[in-house]
């Protein structure tokens, strides 16, 4: 009887347990995200304490809005470019790590947005964010992405 010295079967890695773990992690994060969104809408009365010390200040970014006609607003209040530089400079003196979020109209010429960015730069603001909207309607209508 001949002895088999060469093994014909290749060793295969069973990926089923790893795929199960990945699906469970995805499910966990989906459920956890949903709970955090719903927890903001829970109406409850918080307990009161006599002396808890000083409350931490929540850092809220300042909002600069640039309209299509070039008008500027800082946190909903109309301002001109010079007032924007002055107000942002004063806010930066009070809070050195000041954040600014720039809301620009999609139909606005870029020059107006560039002027607002330059005003932020003159006020020595380094943390600037620009808001955009995801173009999901374009991708669904058959437009090609590049």
pLDDT in tens, 42-81: 666 777 777 766 666 667 888 898 888 888 888 888 899 8
Q: Give me the torsion for CA of 24, 27, 28, 32, rounded to 10°.
A: 180
User: Dihedral, CA atoms, 16, 22, 27, 30, nearest 10 degrees?
Assistant: -160
The rounded percent of the chain whose pLDDT value lies above 90 is: 10
| Domains observed in the chain | 62-130 (3.30.420.270)
**Which pLDDT score, from 0 to 100, does residue 145 have?**
43
Average pLDDT, whole number, for the chain? 80
What is the value of pTM for the model shown? 0.53
pLDDT, tens digit, 9 for 90 and up, residues 8-25:
677 788 899 999 999 999
Q: Return the number of other C-beta atoms located less than 10 Å from residue 50's C-beta.
A: 4
DSSP string computed for the chain: -PPP-S--SPP----HHHHHHHHHHHHHHHHHHHHHHHHTT---PPP--S---PPPPP---EEEEE-TTS-EEETTEEE-HHHHHHHHHHHHHH-TT-EEEEEE-TTS-HHHHHHHHHHHHHTT--EEEE-----HHHHHTTPPP-
């Amino acid at each position: 009887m001949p002895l088999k010295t060469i093994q014909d079967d290749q060793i295969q890695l069973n990926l089923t347990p790893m795929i199960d773990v990945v699906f469970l992690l995805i499910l966990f994060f989906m459920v956890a995200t949903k709970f955090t969104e719903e927890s903001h809408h829970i109406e409850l009365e918080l307990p009161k304490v006599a002396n808890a010390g000083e409350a931490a200040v929540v850092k809220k970014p300042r909002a600069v809005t640039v309209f299509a006609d070039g008008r500027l607003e800082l946190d909903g209040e109309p301002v001109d470019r010079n007032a924007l530089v002055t107000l942002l400079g004063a806010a930066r003196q009070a809070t050195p790590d000041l954040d600014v979020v720039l809301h620009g109209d999609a139909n606005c010429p870029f020059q107006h947005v560039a002027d607002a960015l330059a005003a932020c730069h003159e006020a020595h603001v380094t943390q600037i964010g620009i808001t955009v909207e995801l173009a999901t309607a374009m991708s669904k209508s058959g437009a090609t992405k590049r």
